[in-house]
Amino acid sequence: MEIRNLGRSGLRVSSIGLGCNNFGGRIGLEATRKVVHRALDLGITLFDTADVYGERGGSETCLGQVLGDRRKDIVLATKFALPMDDAETLKGASRRYIMRAVEDSLRRLKTDWIDLYQQHRPDPMTPIEETLRALDDLVRQGKVRYIGCSNLPAWQVVEAQWTARHEGLNPYVSCQDEYSLVVRDVVEPELAPAMRQYGMGLLPFFPLASGLLTGKYKRNAPLPQDARLVTTPRLAERYLTDRNWQIAQRLDDWASTRGHTLLELAFSWLLAQPPVSSVIAGATKPEQLDANVKAGGWKLTAEDRAEIEGLAHLH
């Protein structure tokens, strides 16, 4: 397993990370245990969860029960800011809420510290300086090691980094945003240049476009019954477009002529993009992790990447 620095920070993470959004929700404690143990065996060190995953708290609770003494061997990342109650009073990035949210996460995870604490989404009600000062206090207290952000537009990332620099506060070391061979408009136009400027690492989520890039979906053929794009119509509407089908088919053909799968191409292409530190992918079964880790082993040449660019650009 390749280990990389998260941006220009000293935090080192496995190039393939484990997304823990299925734990405590789609899969229960014992199935989670199998996935976590396989991840540890494969050398995956980045475990990415959030307080809301697993129907609000379930994912963190499962991880807390499963990790035990192996907690110290991994980089544990979680998030705050999304609503943790139906009334939506428990949410956001204010000092008042952050100080409560972190204690709740630490308790569920059964740990004294969080390696990477991430703001899950923007909070238009709270000045960024207030958020950063609260997070900086948590770093100084030792409850959090590093901080990151997720789903912030490029201008807010720049504002946060500028504020941290000028106020002498710990900056965000990473961004977690959607990025894949079929979804590139979130990252490439403005976010990637901002991240390069500030030395931030990118943790792409949905690297397989919710399953479209696994190669298990074929156009004009029945979709697998339990697949996410079958059970979640809004995702199907979003990803199963004419454009995406065409791109996926062309890339699948290109990969197979080289003895590789579309899934291997999806991971390898992301790992070849300069801001990417680790590719986060969820799993409900241990064998999915085997495939993900194997996928990260294909080293694309500059020529390969140029050909992929040509195939992936459809307007």
- Residue 188 sits in a domain whose CATH number is 3.20.20.100
pTM of the model: 0.93
- Section 279-298 average pLDDT: 91
Buried b (16+ CB within 10 A) or exposed e, 58-93: bbbbbbbbbbeeebeebbbbbbbbbebeeeeebbbb
How far, in Å, are 170, 172, 301 from residue 163 at the CA level?
A: 10, 11, 38
Q: Residues 149-188: pLDDT tens digits? A: 999 999 999 999 999 999 999 999 999 999 999 999 989 9
Closest C-alpha among 46, 5, 53, 17 to residue 292: 17
Domain extent at residue 174: 3-208+266-300
- Section 241-254 average pLDDT: 91
In a domain, 57, yes or no: yes
Tell me, rounded to whole angstroms, the distance of Cα 141 from its chain centroid.
26
In a domain, 217, yes or no: no
In a domain, 220, yes or no: no
- Section 193-206 average pLDDT: 96
Q: Residues 204-228: pLDDT tens digits? A: 999 998 888 988 777 777 777 777 7
Q: Model confidence at 124, in pLDDT bands (50, 70, 90)?
A: very high
- pLDDT of res. 211: 84
In a domain, 64, yes or no: yes
pLDDT at 27 over 60: yes
pLDDT at 5 over 90: yes
- pLDDT of res. 216: 79
In a domain, 233, yes or no: no
Structural domains counted in the chain? 1
In a domain, 271, yes or no: yes
Per the prediction, the chain carries an average pLDDT of: 93
**Position with higher pLDDT, 245 vs 78:** 78
In a domain, 98, yes or no: yes
Q: Model confidence at 314, in pLDDT bands (50, 70, 90)?
A: low
In a domain, 286, yes or no: yes
Residue numbers annotated as active site: 53
